């Protein structure tokens, strides 16, 4: 049963980005705006592998908390800067949950971002259809929408049981693509041991069928990973993400759980740390998946766990394919896309004295600060 809904004010600036610590990170340098606090009650999808409910800073309220003042805070931030990063909604909870209060706030926020003309990305397992009646939303550029699909219907039932089922997610991508909206699929995380215990020797045939289904939606791109699992719990139940996945596999096959334990090893370096599928196995998997995607008319990239040279389709500006440039403030206070910018600051602009935005300091491995965006 859904918890009660409570609208709350967020305090302070919304300007936040990933903890960039290496030029190996391949994603656009997003300004991330989360529409709720982190915590188990604030996303009704209850995905088994969700890191946000494990975070030490999670809000443990029993109510579903939704920020009600984001447009006002974002507008304050926009008035203080002259260079705006692409904006991503939302990494710690789904911005398209079927909660009327949440959708109303997200709609207000997206309307503001469109008014100011900034680049926009939305990541969801839900249905962003409630945004389609916003005047100009369908044709608005630059933007893309990423829909996460972790596997077959059986696997979604195990990993994200309260999120929309497979057919709904495929229908969402098809609808977006048919409207001309840039849409990609996040095939992420892919737990091959779960595929193997459910489908035996036919496990990769199930993946092949999925890739064909993805292509059938009109999606142009797939981003994939095999997961990064901490074994240390930050939650009150003492169970780590690694343990949750191990328990799930063990219920189906103790032997497969042993294989999972042997093949997920600790890695420190690159863009993050945690237990990952052994590199030789994941490299072979991603190269097979890339070949399948390209055979079906799509491009392919991995999320963080391999370099672009190792695993990605050639010619991509970043791992999510669709270019979302930084934007520059005009005299009227609105923003305009910067020609030649990919927002992949730490890779493509790292050694440029004069990058397209004119701010070489943005290529440094530092978090966003208002001063660097003025």
Beta bridge partners of 186: 148, 223
Structure tokens at 328: 């520059």
What was the pLDDT predicted at 1? 46
DSSP 269-294: ETTEEEEEE-HHHHHHHHHHHHHHHH
Instruction: Give the CA count within 13 Å in the CB-facing half-sphere of 58.
Output: 23
3-state secondary structure of 338: coil
Beta bridge partners, 183, equal: 145
Q: How does 63-81 read in b/e, with b if 16+ C-beta sit within 10 Å?
A: ebbbbbebbebbbebbeeb
* pTM for this model (two decimals): 0.95
> What secondary structure does DSSP assign to 173-204, as a single string?
HHHHHHTT--EEEEE----HHHHHHHHGGGHH
Q: Distance between CA atoms of 361 and 170, rounded to whole angstroms? A: 40
| 213-230 burial code (b ≥16 CB/10 A, e <16) | bbbebbbbbbbbbbbbbb
Strands (E), 45-187: 64-67, 83-84, 87-89, 120-124, 143-148, 183-187
CA angle 154, 156, 159 (to 5 degrees): 115
Q: Which alpha helices (H) appear in 217-343, and where do they start and end?
A: 241-252, 254-263, 279-295, 308-311
Q: What is the pLDDT along the chain (374 residues), one digit of tens a residue?
A: 456 999 999 999 999 887 665 667 788 999 999 999 988 889 999 999 987 766 656 777 889 999 999 999 999 999 999 999 999 999 999 999 999 999 999 999 999 999 999 999 999 999 999 999 999 999 999 999 999 999 999 999 999 999 999 999 999 999 999 999 999 999 999 999 999 999 999 999 999 999 999 999 999 999 999 999 999 876 667 789 999 999 999 999 999 999 999 999 998 865 667 899 999 999 999 999 999 999 999 999 999 899 999 999 999 999 999 999 999 999 999 999 999 999 998 888 888 999 999 999 888 867 788 888 98
Phi, psi dihedral angles at 329 (to 5 degrees): -70, 135
Q: Are 33 and 90 in contact (CB under 8 A)?
A: yes
Q: Would you kindly state where each structural domain of the chain is located, as residue ranges?
A: 1-142+323-374, 184-316
Q: What DSSP designation does 101 have?
A: H
In the three-class reduction of DSSP (H, G, I as helix; E, B as strand; rest coil), residue 146 is classed as strand
Q: Tally DSSP H helices, then E strands, for the chain.
A: 11, 14
DSSP state of 10: P
Residue 10 has what pLDDT?
96
The residue ranges of DSSP E strands in the chain, in sequence order, are 5-8, 31-32, 64-67, 83-84, 87-89, 120-124, 143-148, 183-187, 221-224, 264-269, 272-277, 299-302, 327-329, 335-337
């Amino acid at each position: 049963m859904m918890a009660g809904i409570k609208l709350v004010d967020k305090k302070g600036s919304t300007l936040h980005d990933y903890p960039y610590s290496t030029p190996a990170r391949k994603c656009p340098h997003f300004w991330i705006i989360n529409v709720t606090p982190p915590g188990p009650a604030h996303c009704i999808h209850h995905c088994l592998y969700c890191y946000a409910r494990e975070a030490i800073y999670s809000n443990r309220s029993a109510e579903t908390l939704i920020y009600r003042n984001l447009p006002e805070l974002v507008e304050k931030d926009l008035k203080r800067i002259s260079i705006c990063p692409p904006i991503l909604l939302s990494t710690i909870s789904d911005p398209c949950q079927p909660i009327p209060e949440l959708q109303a706030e997200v709609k207000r926020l997206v309307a503001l971002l469109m008014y100011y003309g900034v680049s926009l990305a939305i990541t969801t397992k839900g249905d962003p259809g409630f945004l389609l009646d916003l005047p100009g939303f369908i044709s608005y550029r630059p933007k893309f929408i990423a829909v996460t699909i972790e596997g077959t219907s059986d696997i979604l039932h195990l990993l994200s049981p309260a999120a929309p089922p497979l057919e709904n997610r495929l229908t969402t991508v098809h609808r977006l693509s048919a409207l001309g909206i840039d849409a990609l699929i996040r095939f992420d995380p892919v737990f091959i041991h779960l595929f193997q215990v459910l489908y035996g020797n036919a496990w990769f045939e199930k993946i092949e069928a999925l890739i064909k289904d993805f292509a059938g939606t009109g999606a142009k791109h797939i981003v994939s990973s095999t997961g990064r699992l901490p074994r240390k719990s930050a939650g009150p139940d003492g169970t780590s993400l690694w343990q949750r996945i191990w328990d799930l596999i063990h219920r189906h096959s103790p032997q497969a759980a042993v294989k999972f334990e042997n093949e997920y090893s600790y890695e420190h370096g690159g863009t993050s740390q945690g237990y990952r599928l052994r590199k030789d196995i994941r490299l072979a998997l991603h190269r097979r998946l890339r070949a399948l995607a390209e055979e079906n008319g799509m491009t392919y990239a991995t999320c963080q766990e391999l370099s672009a040279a190792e695993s990605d389709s050639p010619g991509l500006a970043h791992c999510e394919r669709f270019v979302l440039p930084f934007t520059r403030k005009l005299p009227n206070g609105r923003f305009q896309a910067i020609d030649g910018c990919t927002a992949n600051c730490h890779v493509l602009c790292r050694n440029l004295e004069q990058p397209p935005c004119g701010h070489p300091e943005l290529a440094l491995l530092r978090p966003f600060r208002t001063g660097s965006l003025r």
